[in-house]
Amino acid sequence: MHATPAETTEPAFRTLGGLRFSKGHGTGNDFVLIADPEGVQTIDAEQVAALCDRHRGIGGDGLIRAVPSRYLSEGRELLGTSPDAEWFMDYRNGDGSLSEMCGNGVRVFVHFLRAEGLVDLPDGGALTIGTRGGVKTVVRTGENYAVDMGPWEFIFPGEASAKAMDSLVTAEGLEVPRPALSVSMGNPHTVVALAELSELEATRLFDAPHVDPVPAKGTNVEFVVPSDPLVHDGIGTVTMRVHERGVGETQSCGTGACAAAVAIRHWAGAEAPDTWQVRVPGGVVGVKFFSGAAGHEHVELSGPAVIVASGTLS
């Protein structure tokens, strides 16, 4: 049988032969990880998409390059105010597009730095990381990590305050458009509350949901079911699925879990707790609200990080 042209096409990452990589995940949100301590490795959008391809590449929701902040213009800018942010998480979505931040990714990033011997982080120790969503502080708690995700804000604050919703979301499997609330965690999210787990299971996320109006840079869309009762022993619990822009449905989304807790807490009212568990297809992450600098409320995301394999591109 003769091979067709499609079968003989070289993958876009073939020119990266010899490059070392690792594969890691945080509650199923998985990443290709590259260490670039000298700041010399260039991986373009097409190569990222090829590496993240689950059939012809390594497979992943995104690619993370670990590079010293001084080698990137965004990193040098952060070093001006945060000189401890030695390492920068250079993150791209699975389609190769740049993303501001990834909550699961930053935990896996720090675990990768430890595994590569690039940092020494004892249990209880903190590490400052540069990202396109600003500086993040990550604390090691055993083999888990807790990340100060910084302040949250409503993308459309007027509508959020007046109506507790700012957009309508249409998705396959849901009979009618649903009201939603848009939250920024350094990257954009649109959160939809559903009444039943059966509705959540019936929602099909192969294609991106339609959001009207959509935030300027697009949005990740979270579908969330509050538990019944919502709060037990002072902890709120929700179950979530997510469609990430530039990726599709993922097993977990850290910034999305934070945004979901923001929205559900807002809808629940003044008596809602500050501590949450968010159940995602890939596991459970924790979300806490606390007072940060300059009176802004910050969000902490906590959960596991795992390196599952390492190798070299052929």
DSSP the chain: -PPPHHHHPPPGGGGGTT-EEEEEEETTEEEEEEE-TTS-----HHHHHHHH-TTTSS--SEEEEEEEGGGSHHHHHHHTT-TT--EEEEEEETTS-B-S--HHHHHHHHHHHHHTTS----TT-EEEEEETTEEEEEEEETTEEEEEEEE-EESSHHHHHHHS--EEEE-BT-SS-EEEEEEESSSEEEEEE-S-HHHHHH-B-SSPPEEESPPTT--EEEEEEEEEEEEETTEEEEEEEEEETTTEEES--HHHHHHHHHHHHHHH-TT--SEEEEEETTEEEEEEEEE-GGG-EEEEEEEE-EEEEEEE--
Hey, which residues are catalytic here?
102, 253
